[in-house]
């Protein structure tokens, strides 16, 4: 079974850069998607296919994927970025395409 | 703008069959190479994919839920549905419907509906 591993939490001060990782065996060969979920709201797609961004998502959100780690990078973090973030990968050997989620705290 | 809306009972008893419907507006459910999926989230926990439907002949289920899940599509009503049998308290969750393209991302989501299983 293919497992995606995310850190439970990441903390960053406003204006700094947050990096949220998603680990998986040879994840660099797969397409990774990232979602933001604010409290009480549905998830919102922020990065798809490793590094593409929906038109309505700020350029501060970017993604990369290589080797065994994919990374969501949020530059110039704002208070409104505080949320849970999930990575997602489709793999035929897994019934859990979502990572466990990372809570981003803006200090 | 595409919109998805879940509907169904909010409270159920153990052993019952959960039935939820997702109504799609702002676009046709049968146009394009789109899959229509169900995802759930137990209170305070992460996202769990339940399954997806492409057309009447193409459904895909999470292996861990496959024995209890049926997902169907009704293009005449622009809706797709989820049935989950023999529910227990462990099935208590917010249930979301969403759209994706093959192995692509879930790009449109419903607002979610809370289903509580309790005797």
Nearest to A31 among B47, B103, B109 (CB): B103
Categorize the per-residue pLDDT at B102 as very low, low, confident or very high, splitting at 50, 70 and 90: confident
- Whether chain A has a CB inside 8 Å of the CB on B16: the answer is no
Give the span between the Cα atoms of B119 and B103, in whole angstroms: 38
Q: B47, A44: Cβ pair inside 8 Å? A: no
What integer pLDDT is reported at residue A94 of this predicted model?
Answer: 73
Report in angstroms the alpha-carbon separations of B58 from A72, B55, B70: 32, 5, 12
Low-confidence ranges of chain A (pLDDT < 70): none
Gyration radius (Cα) of chain B, Å: 13
Average pLDDT, chain A: 95
pLDDT digits (tens, 9 = 90+) for B10-19: 999 999 999 9
CA dihedral A44, A47, A52, A58 (to 10 degrees): 70
Mean pLDDT across B103-110: 93
Using a CB-CB distance cutoff of 8 angstroms, which residues of chain A are in contact with residue B65?
95
Residues A56 and A74: their CA atoms lie apart, in Å, by: 15
B4-8, B97-101, B103-107 — which is least confidently predicted?
B103-107
User: What is the enclosing helix (H) or strand (E) of B3?
Assistant: strand B3-7
Q: Is the Cβ–Cβ distance between B80 and B73 less than 8 Å?
A: yes
| Interface residues from chain A to B (CB-CB < 8 Å) | 31, 33, 35, 42-45, 48-49, 54, 86, 88, 90, 95-101
Instruction: Please return the burial class of A83, using the count of CB atoms within 10 Å of its CB with bins 0-12, 13-18 and 19+.
Output: buried
Q: Do B109 and A96 touch (CB under 8 A)?
A: no
Residue B51 CA to residue B64 CA, distance in Å, equals: 10
Q: Is pLDDT of B56 > 80?
A: no
Does the pLDDT of residue B32 top 90, yes or no? Answer: no
Structure tokens at A53: 């961004």
Contacts of A33 in chain B (CB under 8 A): 104-106
């Amino acid at each position: 079974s293919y497992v995606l591993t995310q850190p439970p939490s990441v903390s960053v001060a406003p204006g700094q850069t947050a990096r949220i990782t998603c680990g998986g065996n040879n994840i660099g060969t797969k397409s990774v998607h990232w979602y933001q979920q604010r409290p009480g709201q549905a998830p919102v797609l922020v990065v798809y296919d490793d590094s593409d961004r929906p038109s309505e998502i700020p350029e501060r959100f970017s993604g990369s994927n290589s080797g065994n780690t994919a990374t969501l990078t949020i530059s110039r973090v704002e208070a409104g970025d505080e949320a849970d973030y999930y990575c997602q990968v489709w793999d035929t050997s897994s019934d859990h395409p979502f990572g466990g989620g990372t809570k981003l705290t803006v200090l | 703008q595409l919109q998805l809306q879940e509907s169904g009972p909010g409270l159920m008893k153990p052993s019952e069959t959960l039935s939820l419907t997702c109504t799609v507006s702002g676009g046709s459910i049968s146009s394009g190479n789109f899959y229509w999926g169900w995802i759930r989230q137990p209170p305070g926990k992460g996202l769990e994919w339940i399954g997806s439907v492409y057309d009447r002949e193409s459904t895909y289920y999470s292996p861990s839920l496959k024995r209890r899940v049926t997902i169907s599509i009704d293009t005449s009503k622009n809706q797709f549905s989820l049935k989950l049998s023999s529910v227990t308290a462990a099935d208590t969750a917010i249930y979301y419907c969403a759209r994706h393209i093959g192995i692509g991302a879930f790009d449109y989501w419903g607002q979610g509906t809370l289903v509580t299983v309790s005797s």
